[in-house]
Chain A
Amino acid sequence: MEVIIIPFIACLCVAILGKRTNTWLSALFSSLPLFFVYQYFEHLDSSGRWIALFDHAWISDNIRFTLAFDGLTGLMLILTNILVPIIVLAGIRNDENQCKLTALTLFMQAALNGVFMAQDGLMFYIFWELALIPIYFITLTMSGKFAFKITLRFFLYTFVGSLAMLASLIYLFLHTADYSFDFESLRAVELNPTQSIGVGAGILLAFLVKIPILPFHSWQADTYTEAPASGSMLLGGIMLKMGLYGILRWYFPLAPESIAFFQPWMIGLSVAGVLYGAIIALRQKDMKRLVAFSSLSHVALIAAGLFTLSAEGIEGGLLQMFVHGVNIIGLFLVIEIIEKSTGTRVLGELGGLAKNNRIFMVFFMLVALGTIAVPFTNGFPGEFLLLKSLYGYNPNLALLAGLTIIFSAVYILRMVQFSMFGEGKKAISPLSWNEILAFAILAFGIVGIGFMPQIIIDMVHKSVLIIATWISEANGILT
């Protein structure tokens, strides 16, 4: 409960106090939930169940306000509550909209924490939509004449997906024995294969749009590119993890009978997305657009891993979710600083930025290396596990998806080269302390996870095991 209330109060404070708020203080407040997340971990028992920490009757006795916690939720909460303070810190160069963006980001944090903790289907849906409100207004503050159109497209896309999920949830609700939205009740509903595919399709659609997976991605590039930095960071760093988390937490357990039907499609689309995003990223000139497509590619690999239903795929996917959050926020932060210093983020107009700012250079290099998954940076273990799981599913698909390790090297190093190397007149303005702090946290994440990925695997292992058991029970297959 605290992790939702604190950011919400902080949001109200910032909204009321306006320009008088201090970024450092906001960041401090937004990192407070981390302390409570740490406490939540003490509630975990050895079974790895999803334990309700807060439970109160809400709409009726059966539609309850239930917040639950396990390793999986814990990982997502850590991700959210580490990254949001960084996003708040990074926003300082965004002069006129600063406090507005900060308030919305904090609101977002509350909603995201709710999404990851909600154990009641209806509550999950409400938090899911609640998260859409701040991001809508954040993206709407973008500049450019297409602002409204791009935001509208983004909104409609995700909203249609969410409605499909709501329909599926209501369908399940109507079939529960006790008319309840509780996770366990929804899960207990026995569906025949046809029903299961229908319900599964609805739930899946919401997640696929949010991730996004190949045919549902056309909102992504524009939104990432045009949104203010904090919007891009929230979208790429945390929001798309809602989709992946949703697949694991809600889709797999609620419609396990349909997995066998969707699995080949999902893996096929994901692998296509991996290549599609990577190939398009090869030639992008706008750095943010490049990162958007690289993210499309990287995230598709995670989705493919989840759908292999193997321990390596799911746990590697979770690891990579965390890692991708760290890396993409790092990349957007770097691009934001470049844009604010030089006034452009188009590759052809940049160059030689490595000259005068060593810390910036080192950090950029580190993030780039993490993104292209060099060993001993955070990108490697996850990508290794994901490709391995895919190899177990189908070696040819693994080879195709594996091409991403070549392509990612090409486009990321191209970005580094054209912005940092060579001769150029432009320069990075001196970094502020909050940017250096953000860099330090992210750099620690990149190197730390690179060496010790097992920490994250251990965190989620038991929860994944439970979900895997459910899947195999429903399908009669061993994973």
Chain B
Amino acid sequence: MLEWIIVLPLLGFLINGVFGSIIPKPIAGWLGTAFVFGSFVVTCFLFSDLLSALPAKGAVYLKVFTFLNVGNFHVDIAFQFDRLSAIMALIITGIGTLIHAYSISYMSDDDSLYKFFSFLNLFIFSMLVLVLGSNFVMMFFGWEGVGLCSYLLIGFWFKNVSFGKAARKAFVMNRIGDLGLLMGLFLIYQNFGSFEYTEVFAKFGRLEVGTGICTAIALLLFIGAMGKSAQIPLYTWLPDAMAGPTPVSALIHAATMVTAGIYLVVRCEAIYALAPFAREVILWIGLATSLMAALIGLKQNDIKKVLAYSTVSQLGFMFIALGCGAYTAALFHVITHAFFKALLFLGAGSVIHGMHHEQDIRQMGGLRKKMPITYATFLIGTLAITGFPMLSGFFSKDEIFTAILAQNTGVFVLGLLSASITVFYTFRMFFVTFHGNYRNQHHSYEKIAESPLLMTLPLLILAVLSLIGGAVNFPNYMGEGISKGLYHLLSFDGGGSFSPILILPEQSFEISHVKEWILFALTPLFLFIFLVARKKYVVKAAVPEADADQVGFGKTLANKFYVDEAYNRSFVEPIELVSDTLTEYVDEKAFKSSFDGIGRINQYVASLLSRFQNGNIEYYLVYMVIGLCLLLAFNLF
């Protein structure tokens, strides 16, 4: 049954890819959606099987065929359905279905709708291969596959040159990470002689904490995660990736693909448990990314860019959690983030759809009256991301903060700062978009209308999920009364009835009462920031200034800390210079000329020798006589 999860999206890709041009548009869309939904249903069945199996069922394996078998090197196309991959697969197919359905309406004007859906299905397929693969190579397949789909979908509107550029940038940045991942894979194979998760992790159990090899593997794998999950220094592709159609941003660049890095680290928890230094690195990089992206988010005016930076920032949070060793918290945040970020992106898509492809929030305003459903759902998403009590984001962030607080107060303060900024810029975007006065001169306010049901329905479903999504992992203090079945769905419960997500028992984060009070004080703090934002953007109805009016630090933020420019200076331009130099001087001058030089030397020697051939018989005769004399002389002596 496991194979159907994978095969269905692939079928969807093939059918739409091959016959798409002769299938009527809406049918192509529904077809694509149906295949993903089918995959979702199968996943649900398997997941309930997995949960209900007693005694604990570790995982379902499925070996399809041998991919490579060279010498003692062996790779299978094989899948593994355990709780971790099941949860990822549920997110991918579940949210995938909603976004597919949403796209049918959102993309209905596009001529190559079938192409869009076939790419989306291919993405779902690749992502499922990534999370369901039973070995590192399968993961790498998926890893590169989703990168490819991301490339294809960012550059979907290929006539626009800058979109194509963004797509290439995403692919290349990801490839840099992939190289790190690949090297990590080789290192794993060299030391453990296998790529299969179970075999590798079993061998890791015998190593000491802090072994160099663990640290090296952990860091190399993390380089891969940096690329895919947009962490410093490889994050710059994600904001540019917003060039793609909005459902793509929601699916790939918010809910699923970018969380692959977190999946990787959680999957390799056995490695990271032995590499405290690597976790330290993850912690600080996550923190830096989270802060930096949040700061940049303060000054972005493209609604999708704001969301993109907020995604980067939230991914940073997840890595902070991973750095603290709070794998469950990170995974929890992946889930809730998938709900509310998909919701926000689809909401933004709905706004953009209503505004006829206007994305600048300064050109919006007052939309709440025209788009009530979008407004309400967007509000829920905003509240969820900012950690409003009892919404999904609250619980996951709370777990992350608990983990940080238990370990490092300094990190907590900085993380808190980042979370506070998140509250501010998210509400800034929300207020400027939906409140205040309508400011666009090109489209009349009257023409703006709520999006069709096919778009609002996914919004509503996601809004419900964002509201109650925290239920999948209620914290301890909520008591056991809420729901025994859902409680600790994610967490490791040693010896319990569920198969564990993690191989090693996760450390528990006990914090003192004072620190617990600090956590409780967060809500009023966020509320205060919310009020500040409300005062500025609702009461005073401030509008973010035009690009030209930016000054000082604000200008630096609006220009994203000039990171793209710095990368251009320090990497792109030098390499281009090297390339030109090699072409012009080394290849043309040094190599070609030096080898042509051998020919020229020959020609020169020939021209010297040809002087003897002056055509004059007398000289020839002299040469002949000299030659004869030499011959005679040789014979004599």
- Residues of A near any B CB (own CB < 8 A): 153, 156-157, 215, 217-218, 221, 276, 279-280, 282-284, 310-312, 315-316, 352, 354-355, 358, 369, 374-376, 380-381, 384-385, 387-388, 391-392, 395, 398-399, 402-403, 405-406, 409-410, 413-414, 417, 420-423, 452-454, 457, 461
One digit per residue, 1 when the CB lies within 8 angstroms of any chain A CB and 0 when it does not, for chain B 116-154 equals 000000000000000000000100111011001001000
- Give the nearest-CB partner of B580 in chain A: A283
Residues in B whose Cβ lies below 8 Å from that of A280: 579, 582-583, 587
Contact across chains for A283 and B576 when beta carbons are under 8 A apart = yes
Give the interface SS of chain B, mostly helix, strand, loop or mixed. helix
Contact across chains for A221 and B587 when beta carbons are under 8 A apart = yes
Measured CA separation A433–B587 after assembly (Å) = 40
Residues in A whose Cβ lies below 8 Å from that of B583: 280, 283-284
Residues in A whose Cβ lies below 8 Å from that of B155: 417, 421
- Chosen A-B contacts, 16 in total, with CB atoms closer than 8 Å, are A157-B595, A218-B591, A279-B575, A280-B579, A283-B579, A310-B71, A355-B159, A375-B145, A384-B68, A391-B190, A405-B179, A409-B175, A413-B172, A421-B161, A421-B164, A422-B159
Contact across chains for A279 and B578 when beta carbons are under 8 A apart = yes
Contact across chains for A375 and B141 when beta carbons are under 8 A apart = yes
Of the candidates A276, A280, A381, the one having the most CB atoms from chain B within 10 angstroms of its own CB is A280
Query: A417 touches which one: B68, B141, B165 (CB < 8 A)?
Result: B165
Q: Shortest distance in angstroms between A144's beta carbon and chain B's nearest beta carbon?
A: 16
Measured CA separation A374–B144 after assembly (Å) = 6
Residues in B whose Cβ lies below 8 Å from that of A461: 70
Contact across chains for A312 and B70 when beta carbons are under 8 A apart = yes
* Interface Cβ pair total, 8 Å cutoff: 135
Instruction: With A369-B148, A384-B137, A454-B65 given, name 17 new contacts (CB 8 A).
Output: A153-B596, A157-B595, A221-B587, A279-B575, A310-B71, A311-B73, A374-B145, A376-B145, A391-B183, A398-B186, A405-B182, A406-B172, A410-B168, A417-B161, A421-B161, A422-B158, A423-B161
- Give the nearest-CB partner of A278 in chain B: B579
Q: Confirm or deny: B67 has a beta carbon within 8 angstroms of a beta carbon on chain A.
A: yes
Measured CA separation A217–B576 after assembly (Å) = 21
- Give the nearest-CB partner of A411 in chain B: B579
Measured CA separation A423–B161 after assembly (Å) = 8
If A311-B70, A312-B73 touch, does A409 touch B164 (CB 8 Å cutoff)? no
Measured CA separation A354–B596 after assembly (Å) = 41
Residues in B whose Cβ lies below 8 Å from that of A355: 159
Residues in A whose Cβ lies below 8 Å from that of B160: 422
If A218-B591, A374-B148 touch, does A399 touch B178 (CB 8 Å cutoff)? no
Q: Confirm or deny: B21 has a beta carbon within 8 angstroms of a beta carbon on chain A.
A: yes
Residues in B whose Cβ lies below 8 Å from that of A414: 168
Closest 8 CB pairs of A and B: A311-B71, A375-B141, A391-B186, A421-B158, A218-B592, A283-B579, A218-B591, A421-B164
Contact across chains for B186 and A387 when beta carbons are under 8 A apart = yes
Of the candidates B68, B160, B179, B587, the one having the most CB atoms from chain A within 10 angstroms of its own CB is B68
Residues in B whose Cβ lies below 8 Å from that of A156: 599
Q: Which residues of B in the span 585-636 have a Cβ within 8 Å of any Cβ on A?
A: 587, 591-592, 595-596, 599
Measured CA separation A316–B69 after assembly (Å) = 11
Q: Confirm or deny: B189 has a beta carbon within 8 angstroms of a beta carbon on chain A.
A: yes
Query: B582 touches which one: A279, A376, A403, A453 (CB < 8 A)?
Result: A279
Residues in A whose Cβ lies below 8 Å from that of B476: none
Residues in B whose Cβ lies below 8 Å from that of A284: 583
Contact across chains for B582 and A354 when beta carbons are under 8 A apart = no
Contact across chains for A387 and B182 when beta carbons are under 8 A apart = yes
- Give the nearest-CB partner of A457 in chain B: B70
Q: Confirm or deny: B448 has a beta carbon within 8 angstroms of a beta carbon on chain A.
A: no
- Residues of B near any A CB (own CB < 8 A): 21, 65-73, 137, 140-142, 144-145, 148, 151, 155, 158-161, 164-165, 168, 171-172, 175-176, 178-179, 182-183, 186-187, 189-190, 575-576, 578-580, 582-583, 587, 591-592, 595-596, 599
Contact across chains for A375 and B159 when beta carbons are under 8 A apart = no
Query: B186 touches which one: A311, A388, A409, A413 (CB < 8 A)?
Result: A388
Measured CA separation A399–B182 after assembly (Å) = 9
Residues in A whose Cβ lies below 8 Å from that of B599: 156
Residues in B whose Cβ lies below 8 Å from that of A315: 70-71
Residues in A whose Cβ lies below 8 Å from that of B587: 218, 221, 280
Query: B171 touches which one: A311, A385, A402, A413 (CB < 8 A)?
Result: A413
Residues in A whose Cβ lies below 8 Å from that of B175: 405-406, 409
Residues in B whose Cβ lies below 8 Å from that of A421: 155, 158-159, 161, 164
Contact across chains for A403 and B179 when beta carbons are under 8 A apart = yes
Residues in B whose Cβ lies below 8 Å from that of A403: 179
Contact across chains for A354 and B158 when beta carbons are under 8 A apart = yes
Query: B73 touches which one: A218, A376, A388, A395 (CB < 8 A)?
Result: A388
Residues in A whose Cβ lies below 8 Å from that of B71: 310-312, 315
Of the candidates B148, B165, B575, B578, the one having the most CB atoms from chain A within 10 angstroms of its own CB is B148
Contact across chains for A402 and B579 when beta carbons are under 8 A apart = no
Residues in B whose Cβ lies below 8 Å from that of A157: 595
Residues in A whose Cβ lies below 8 Å from that of B159: 352, 355, 421-423
Measured CA separation A315–B74 after assembly (Å) = 13
Of the candidates A156, A218, A352, A392, the one having the most CB atoms from chain B within 10 angstroms of its own CB is A218
Contact across chains for B158 and A399 when beta carbons are under 8 A apart = no
Q: Shortest distance in angstroms between B195's beta carbon and chain A's nearest beta carbon?
A: 11
Residues in A whose Cβ lies below 8 Å from that of B576: 282-283
Residues in A whose Cβ lies below 8 Å from that of B168: 409-410, 413-414, 417
Contact across chains for B183 and A399 when beta carbons are under 8 A apart = yes
Residues in A whose Cβ lies below 8 Å from that of B73: 311-312, 385, 388
- Give the nearest-CB partner of A311 in chain B: B71
If A283-B579, A391-B183 touch, does A409 touch B70 (CB 8 Å cutoff)? no
Measured CA separation A51–B144 after assembly (Å) = 42
Q: Shortest distance in angstroms between A164's beta carbon and chain B's nearest beta carbon?
A: 14
- Give the nearest-CB partner of A413 in chain B: B168
Measured CA separation A59–B141 after assembly (Å) = 54
Query: B190 touches which one: A279, A384, A392, A406 (CB < 8 A)?
Result: A392
Measured CA separation A280–B68 after assembly (Å) = 32
If A279-B575, A358-B21, A454-B67 touch, does A375 touch B582 (CB 8 Å cutoff)? no
Residues in B whose Cβ lies below 8 Å from that of A354: 158
